[in-house]
Amino acid sequence: MPRPDPPGAPFQENVMSSVQTAPIHFDAFNALADREAEARIRAAKARLGSRAVLLCHHYQRADVYQHADLTGDSLKLSRLAGQSDAEYIVFCGVHFMAEVADILSKPEQISILPDLAAGCSMADMASLAKVERCWRELSTALDPDESVTPVTYINSAADLKAFCGEHGGIVCTSSNAPKILDWAFRRRGKVLFFPDQHLGRWSGHKMGIPLDQMVLWNPDQEMGGLTREQIANAKIILWHGFCSVHQMFQPAHILKFRNQYPEGKVISHPECSFEVCRQSDYVGSTETIIRVVKEAAPNTRWLVGTELNLVERLAQEVKDQGKIVQFMATTICMCSTMQRIDPQHLAWTLENLAEGNVVNRISVPEHEAVLARVALERMLEAS
């Protein structure tokens, strides 16, 4: 049996593989200097060869990102992983990303998250119990001939994707959300959109839906804090959820930038507030942000409203073209949960794999995976 972690140590799940060797305890890695951890990562990757593929999200910290085999947003990485022949999919992202990788990959592939504490605060704002209660309350508030399509952002737990699969719903990403909403409205008159209110509101706005027909559902209040009249009038019922990083960006940041650099351009992620998106020149996913800035004319200046690691990496990549890329907020804000995956955890994970021990496996229960895959496949077909 795996040895328990000592008091105060990060919780780690050790799942033994068919090779019965004792797993290497994380304590042996916790105090490693970054340089030593980097050397051990490279050595373990060399031992594993093609048996393991290392995926890094755009928001991942630089000292981990440098080891990536594949980079991108969460859905792109999961699809690429499923197309690979690697035995192990090591996802340097957050929990829901590793879940999607497990759902979309081949049955024999194993999805791994180097630190189980790497979660997503936005995803945690919508639980299955609260969404099911919302669903029941909506059914009592609506007329019998009215129906709702559940749409979950990919930044959500697997059981919520399964909920959508079971109830005729679908998954969306930050790039295809308006197209997915169009799919939903062709089937039913209303949409329940969770967990990110900002993506839902901006996507609805792009479709021409008035703001007063997009209402905010507070899961901690009875009937979401809404009247029956508000629910009846709504086209989109937005969950009261948000990204703690993108919540930091403010219209005042854009105003200051435009006053200083009238020729500058502003690009933001749709997880930003409605006012930030409305005052931006471009709004798009992480992949869109990277593409727009890289394809822009030389010697242009950009204010970017998304996670700090991505912005700093992008700034370095376009520097030789005379482009200046600035982070929107005046304070440092990065995805703190993704930051938990550090070189020490990655070295620990890879060395265990090289020794035949699977640690921190992410395995979605089959009954959930089947339904979640239905919602994901609907999205892939629709987009």
pLDDT at 138: 96
Tell me the one-letter amino acid at 248: M
The answer to whether the beta carbons of residues 164 and 134 sit under 8 Å apart is: no
Q: Using an 8 Å Cβ cutoff, are 16 and 364 in contact?
A: no
Q: HSE (CB half, 13 Å, CA atoms) of 235?
A: 19
Taking the chain (383 residues) in runs of 10, the rounded mean pLDDT of each run is 37 41 84 95 97 94 95 84 90 94 94 93 95 96 88 97 98 95 96 98 97 98 96 97 93 98 98 98 96 98 96 97 95 75 96 96 97 95 89
Per-residue confidence (pLDDT) for residue 334, from 0 to 100:
66
- Listed as own residue / partner, the contacts of 295-302 with beta carbons closer than 8 Å and 24 or more positions apart are 296/265, 296/323, 298/322, 298/323, 299/323, 300/263, 300/264, 300/265, 300/324, 301/261, 301/263, 301/264, 301/265, 301/325, 301/326, 302/264, 302/265, 302/266, 302/267, 302/326
Write down the pLDDT at residue 333: 66
pLDDT of the residue at 123: 93
Handedness of CA 283, 81, 38, 345 (dihedral sign): positive
- State both tokens at 343: 């070189």
Which residue segments constitute the domains of the chain, with CATH numbers given? 14-119+337-364 (3.40.50.10800), 123-243 (3.40.50.10800), 246-327 (3.40.50.10800)
Of 179, 200, 171, the closest CA to residue 79 belongs to: 171
| Measured CA distances, 314 to 93, 276, 317 (Å) | 18, 21, 5
